[in-house]
Amino acid sequence: MTIITHTREAGTLIEGTAKGDGSNTILKAAGWHWSRNLGTWYVPHTRDSAARRHLINDTAEQLREAGFAVEVEINDTARPAATVEQDKAQRAGERAEALATRAVRRESAAEHAQQLARAADARLPEGGEPIKIGHHSENRHRNAIARANRATRRAIAADQEAKQAAEQADTAALATIRRYNPVTVANRLETLGADLRRAERQLNGHTRTLYKTGDTRYVEASEPAQGDYADRLQARIQELQDQISYWEGVRAEQIAAGMAGNYSPETINKGDQVKFRGSWYEVRRVNRKTVTIPSMVGGSWTDTVPYHELSGHQPKAF
């Protein structure tokens, strides 16, 4: 029996396949990947995400058509945002540690390859002596040059691999820091808020004006969600509310610690100075979500900056 499972903690996995049974062709085509660590096939980026039901059902159908007996088990209950973030931070730390260890190994291998290359160069005739055609030393000389060239190429390749491994380790080490960057947190809250409003509209139904001609308004109406779809939307709304609550707490802590500013139309006025990306600008206009400032590249036009991206504020001097 082949079983496709999905949980928020583990993501989408499959059990009951075996090497050579033909399932790999179907799974690869459907977007599944093989994990040596897990010892099974999985769908990338499905941890703590809603089940991709179309992909799961399509995969199950294709496997059944190929003669497999398939069951599907989906538990789409979301985990608390705090738990999700804790697990992400732990996995990021483990990945950074593993990459740092690999970088050390690659650096050691690169040093060893450079030593071999220097040793191969040292065996060449001194002073760049040319090959003596027809001399008994010709073959030995050519072989020494070939060995030195191969050793040099291996040293260069090993050095490049070591540098790449070090860059990957540095990137992984900064993953959690970047995720909690104050601007990133504020942007995430904006996105989550938009997602929540969209889910609520889909659940409750909504209308929107497509266009207007004279006194006639052409409106598109969306009926409230029903049945299983409504249940999934309600679960999604609860998940989004939990995520918003978590990240609002993070942002409040950042504001209290002075890591982020709490700027808004209530705190900034026209003529004030605001700091953005290290430079100060005079506020030309105060908007609901942004401030208008002079062109950042010196043109005659203006630019707008979201309040949460400002890093400083000075009231207008009277």
What pLDDT, on the 0 to 100 scale, is given for residue 108?
93
What pLDDT, on the 0 to 100 scale, is given for residue 130?
80
What pLDDT, on the 0 to 100 scale, is given for residue 78?
96
Express each pLDDT in 80-138 by its tens digit: 999 999 999 999 999 999 999 999 999 999 999 999 888 888 878 776 678 778 777 67
C-alpha 98 chain-centroid distance: 18
pLDDT exceeds cutoff 90 at 4 = yes
Cα separation, 283 vs 260, whole angstroms: 19
Q: What are φ and ψ of residue 79, in 5° steps? A: -90, 155
Express each pLDDT in 42-61 by its tens digit: 999 999 999 999 999 999 99
Q: What are φ and ψ of residue 316, in 5° steps? A: -65, 135
In sequence order, what E strands does 100-238 have? Answer: 206-213, 216-222
Q: What are φ and ψ of residue 149, in 5° steps? A: -65, -45
What pLDDT, on the 0 to 100 scale, is given for residue 127?
65
Cα separation, 72 vs 6, whole angstroms: 8
**Full-model pTM:** 0.80
Q: For CA atoms 274, 275, 279, 285, give the dihedral sign.
A: negative
Cα separation, 214 vs 254, whole angstroms: 50
- Average per-residue pLDDT for the chain: 92
Q: What are φ and ψ of residue 43, in 5° steps? A: -100, 120
- For residue 2, the tally of other CB atoms under 10 A from its CB is 19
Is 172 in contact with 96 (CB distance < 8 Å)?
A: yes
Report DSSP state, residue 315: P
Which three-class secondary structure state does DSSP give residue 290?
strand
What pLDDT, on the 0 to 100 scale, is given for residue 132?
73
C-alpha 59 chain-centroid distance: 25
Q: Which two tokens stand for residue 104?
A: 């050390």
197-201: long-range pairs with CB below 8 Å, 24+: 199/233, 199/236, 199/237, 199/240, 200/237
pLDDT exceeds cutoff 90 at 147 = no
Cα separation, 275 vs 188, whole angstroms: 22
3-state secondary structure 264-282: CCCCCCCCCEEEECCEEEE
Sheet holding 279-282, edge to edge: 279-282, 273-276, 312-314
Q: Which two tokens stand for residue 52?
A: 């991709």
Per-residue pLDDT band at 292 (split at 50, 70, 90): very high
pLDDT exceeds cutoff 80 at 289 = yes
